[in-house]
Amino acid sequence: MKELENRVALVTGASRGIGRAVSLELAKAGAQLILAGRDLDALNETSRLISELGIGPVPLVCPMNLLDVATIDSAVKISLDKFGHIDVLVNNSGITGKSAPLWELDESEWDEAIDTNLKGPFLVSKAVIPSMISRKKGSIIFIGSVTGKRPLVNRSVYAASKLGLVGMMRTLALELGKEGVRVNLVSPGFVEGPRLDGVIAQVARNEGTTLEEMKAKWLEMIPTGKFVSPEDIAQGVLFFASDRSRSTTGEDLNISGGLVMY
């Protein structure tokens, strides 16, 4: 029996990158997947990749926009109506936000990042938690960032949003421990892929250097000398989703190649 067999997992931002890698890993472990996000074409591609594994049930695809609470409530209701419960919630959806000095950010740019990266996971968790409490069972996993702990120039709003997740996670872990619900967080380092390339390109433009020079500079900060992969993050999520972490809650796990060690 696979370790997540007969369990239902909702992954936000399952369309690409970390979310897709997490969805594939949880599916391999036997979970029934609910794939949520804004890009239905990309979500359907994730669903196709899972189906091609030929090892589990067909995922449920649900549209969800973290800036629209109605879509969040609708996706959770559809999921509960279909499966009766949600065992694992992976709050992965987020945006990189604008790279700029704080005093040059527009209020709308600040609000968009905070609303997506911090308020969005609050709303999704709020919708899912009552069903977990009713069953005295569940695992909630937030995807944070080491940027919330190790500051980077021009990344104030992103850092604020991700460090805010740590506070929310730890408070929830304290509140939900006696309800049988565990709450943890994975803090990725620099995760290779188009999103990281876009951030590095923004920073390079701001500092008047090339993408290649800035990428080399970022790699120098990592003890292992390598960016981490989405699959690396998925392994950490699988640990928190499974019974292997049954005695772990309130934990912030760095997967960063040593970029952050606290």
Which residues are known to be catalytic?
158
d(CA 190, CA 228): 6
Could you write out the DSSP letters of every residue in 105-119?
Answer: --HHHHHHHHIIIII
Query: Side by side, which strands form the sheet with 138-143?
Result: 60-63, 32-37, 8-12, 88-91, 138-143, 181-188, 252-255
Q: What are phi and psi of 111, to 5 degrees?
A: -60, -40
- State the Cα torsion 10-15-21-23 to the nearest 10°: 20
Q: Using the structure block, give the residue that is written with the tokens 């005093």.
A: 103
Pick from 70, 182, 69, 153: nearest CA to 116: 69
d(CA 172, CA 76): 19
> Helix, strand, or coil here: 37?
strand
Structure tokens at 258: 């040593």
Pick from 170, 165, 127, 173: nearest CA to 147: 165
Strands 60-63 and 88-91 come out as unpaired
